[in-house]
Amino acid sequence: MISVVCPGSYDPVTNGHLDIIERCSRLFDEVVVSVLINKSKKGLFSIEERMEMISEVCEHLPNVRVDSWHGLLVDYCRANGIPAIAKGLRAVSDFDYELQMSQMNQRLSGVETLFISTNPEYSFLSSSLVKEIATYHGDVSHLVPRSIGRRLTARVDELA
């Protein structure tokens, strides 16, 4: 069985993430969506909430499971016997840093990184922009699944 990990902050999961996860689920036996914990970044949603939201929107994908990790991604891969990391590339601006990380991860552990070109429909999309738009009550209905949009609105109202 060949597994791949889709790592990220997922604060929150967007349609762009979901597109990459769905495409990976057609290529691999198992897709592990892992929420990487970055203690220095205060998120809008807790790690548990992010995992719950990913599980919700991936309910239709039986070979996808959700997990979290605090530490190096390659250590997660090693601990779970996962040979590959999948990353979506939105634009050339993503490439420099992603290439550097993939080469470092390869050198550290032998784990390979596979880049998937983002659907052009989502090439401008990021969780940070979605959060900013939601904060000012902009329309995020075409950027995130409906249930995530509802949670975003609720969280922004709670914090207002």
Residues forming contacts to ligand PNS in the complex (CB under 6 A) are: 7-9, 36, 72-73, 101, 104-105
Please count the residues of the chain.
Answer: 160
Residue 56 exposed, middle or buried by CB count within 10 Å (0-12, 13-18, 19+): middle
- Choosing from 17, 23, 50, 131, which is the catalytic residue? 17
Dihedral sign (CA 19, 39, 146, 160): negative
Least distance CB 149 / ligand PNS (angstroms): 19
Least distance CB 108 / ligand PNS (angstroms): 7
Q: Which is nearer to ligand PNS, 71 or 137 (CB)?
A: 71
17 is catalytic: yes
Q: What single string gives the DSSP state of each residue in 33-62?
A: EEEE--TTS--SS-HHHHHHHHHHHTTT-T
122 is in an annotated binding site: yes
Q: Which is nearer to ligand PNS, 7 or 145 (CB)?
A: 7
Least distance CB 50 / ligand PNS (angstroms): 10
Question: Residue ranges of the alpha helices (H) in 9-159?
Answer: 15-27, 47-57, 73-80, 92-109, 127-135, 146-159
Q: Which residue has the tokens 């390659």?
A: 74
42 is catalytic: no
Whole-number Cα distances in Å, 36 to 110, 125, 152: 20, 19, 20
- Choosing from 23, 50, 90, 131, which is the catalytic residue? 90
41 is catalytic: yes
Q: Which is nearer to ligand PNS, 30 or 94 (CB)?
A: 94
Residues flagged as binding site for substrate: 9, 41, 73, 87
Q: Which residues are annotated as a binding site for ATP?
A: 9-10, 17, 88-90, 98, 122-128
Supply the residues annotated as catalytic: 17, 41, 90, 127
